[in-house]
Structure 1
């Protein structure tokens, strides 16, 4: 019986190893090529500029130039180094090869250049829709009496700490 269990375990390990060979992990070099083709370093620079503007508004006593150094050249390399294993975990070598082929194409380059603006505009559309939908749902709840005119739960006797009015006998 133990012999069969051992053979079964060996077969499972061999099958797992052959499966791993089919879905080989991309090399760090291959992932770095993808980052280069995707212009991630430049994207980090753009993100840093946007973040510096936000932070200078949030903390007005600190100049935006201070925050501009948040993702400097060394920081970019550190961040890219940390991102390599993430890509290696989620993509096979074949996946990264396909992504490289796509992002090197004219359409892939267009996606890279247009995606930041597309996403920003999409977020604005989503925020506007969310506000409108939320207001609509609040109005519906107010009409049903679930919420009061201020959009809050109506005070209940238990919530206000007072006892209900006594019943009047007729």
Structure 2
């Protein structure tokens, strides 16, 4: 769960910058902390990270509550409220606590001019519209793309299984026939000395 949270936080914070990111700007001025924070603000990074973290905390709470109810089927509403209060009393970190780790990444890969261009774009009507519509685009893309990916993976796995079986059959044909083991000779010779003695 922690690993998934880290991935989600990084995706939320970094993917927005990909639209303006370049390989780096070796000959350009490094953006200031204030510029990077302004870019993050107009891109909605702070809001997205905090919303993602809140959703994750809510999921952990629901999961823990469900597990608790399974392990303690006799639990009453008062106890569940106490459990909820425990989760509500422990706050997960927010964007403010990780921004100092993220800012240098933006400063490393973007010039001051890049960041200013991003600020200008995301502050414009087109940039705001893009930011408004992007969650819908991503969600619908994941839904339709996810179905297609599942279908493609199923076909891929079926094809691999078919070709794997064909290869096994081919290899089986190439094996030399098994030599039959010679049967015990003492019954063939008719030697019954042991029985007659």
Normalised TM-score (structure 2): 0.56
Q: Which residue of the partner structure matches residue 26 of structure 1? A: 31
* Aligned pairs, number: 134
Q: Between Structure 1 and Structure 2, whose CA radius of gyration is higher?
A: 2
Write the distance in 1 (CA, Å) between the matches of 2:63 and 2:45. Answer: 26
1:1-16 matches, within 5 Å, as none
Write the distance in 1 (CA, Å) between the matches of 2:105 and 2:162. Answer: 49
Secondary structure of 1:103's counterpart equals helix
Mark the runs of 5 or more structure 1 residues left unpaired by the alignment: 1-18, 158-163
Q: Is the 1:31–1:88 contact (alpha carbons within 8 Å) kept by the matching residues of 2? A: yes
Write the distance in 1 (CA, Å) between the matches of 2:165 and 2:56. Answer: 38
- Which gives a bigger RCO, structure 1 or 2 (Cα 8 Å, sep 6+)? 2
1:17-166 matches, within 5 Å, as 22-60=27-65, 61=68, 63=84, 66=87, 69-71=91-93, 75-144=94-163, 146-147=164-165, 166=178
Q: Is the 1:138–1:147 contact (alpha carbons within 8 Å) kept by the matching residues of 2? A: no
Write the distance in 2 (CA, Å) between the matches of 1:63 and 1:86. Answer: 37
Normalised TM-score (structure 1): 0.63
Deviation, structure 1 residue 131? 1.3
Pick closer, same or farther for the CA change 1:34–1:64 going to 2, 3 Å.
farther
Q: Is the 1:56–1:64 contact (alpha carbons within 8 Å) kept by the matching residues of 2? A: no
